[in-house]
Amino acid sequence: MYYLMNEFEESKQSKRNPHRDFYNVRKVDTHIHHSACMNQKHLLRYIKYKLKTKPDEQVIFRDGKILTLAQVFESLKLTAYDLSIDTLDMHAHTDSFHRFDKFNLKYNPIGESRLREIFLKTDNFIDGRYLAELTKQVFDDLESSKYQMVELRISIYGRSIHEWDKLAAWIIDNKLYSHNVRWLIQVPRLYDLYKKNGNIKSFLCVMKNLFEPLFEVSLNPKSHPKLHAFLQRVIGFDSVDDESKTERPFHSKKYPSAGEWDSITNPPYSYYLYYLYSNMTTLNHLRLKNNLNTFVLRPHCGEAGDPEHLISAFLTSYGISHGILLRKLPFIQYLYYLDQIGIAMSPLSNNALFLTYDKNPFHNFFKKGLNVSLSTDDPLQFSYTKEPLIEEFSVAAQIYKLSGVDLCELAKNSCLQSGWEANIKKHWLGKSYMDGGVAGNDIEKTNVPDIRMKYREETLKSELQLIEKYNGMTTARE
Pairing of strands 300-301, 319-322: parallel
Instruction: Name, in order, each residue with C-beta under 8 angstroms of 19's C-beta and a sequence gap of 6 or more.
Output: none
CA–CA–CA angle 229, 232, 238 (5° rounding) = 120
Q: Are 392 and 347 in contact (CB under 8 A)?
A: yes
Q: How many residues does the chain have?
A: 478
CB atoms within 10 A of CB 223: 12
| H or E, element range at 373 | strand 372-374
Q: Are strands 58-62 and 65-68 parallel, antiparallel or unpaired?
A: antiparallel
User: In terms of C-beta density within 10 A (0-12 exposed, 13-18 middle, 19 or more buried), how is residue 25 classed?
Assistant: buried
DSSP label of 94: G
Counts for the chain of helices (H) and strands (E), in that order? 22, 11
Catalytic residue selected from 31, 322, 363, 427:
322
Partnered with residue 149 across adjacent β-strands are 28
C-beta separation of 414 from 27 below 8 A:
yes
Give Cα 363 distance to the centre of its chain: 20
Largest interatomic CA distance in the chain? 81
Residue 79's SS3 state is coil
| CA–CA dist 396, 67 (Å, integer) | 45
**DSSP 3-state of 240:** strand
Say if residues 361 and 324 touch (Cβ distance below 8 Å). Answer: yes
Can you tell me whether residue 403 is helix, strand or coil? coil
C-beta of residue 151 within 8 angstroms of C-beta of residue 182 = yes
DSSP 81: T
Is residue 98 part of the annotated active site? The answer reads: no
Which are the contacts of 146, defined by CB distance < 8 A and separation ≥ 6? 24
* Residue 129 CB neighbour total at 10 angstroms: 17
- Reduced to 3 states, what is the DSSP secondary structure of residue 173? helix
Decide if 115 contacts 124 (C-beta within 8 A): no
As a dihedral over the C-alpha atoms of residue 282, residue 284, residue 288, residue 290, rounded to 10 degrees, the angle is 70
Q: How far apart, in whole angstroms, are the C-alpha atoms of residue 87 and residue 404? A: 38
**Which residues are part of the catalytic machinery?**
322
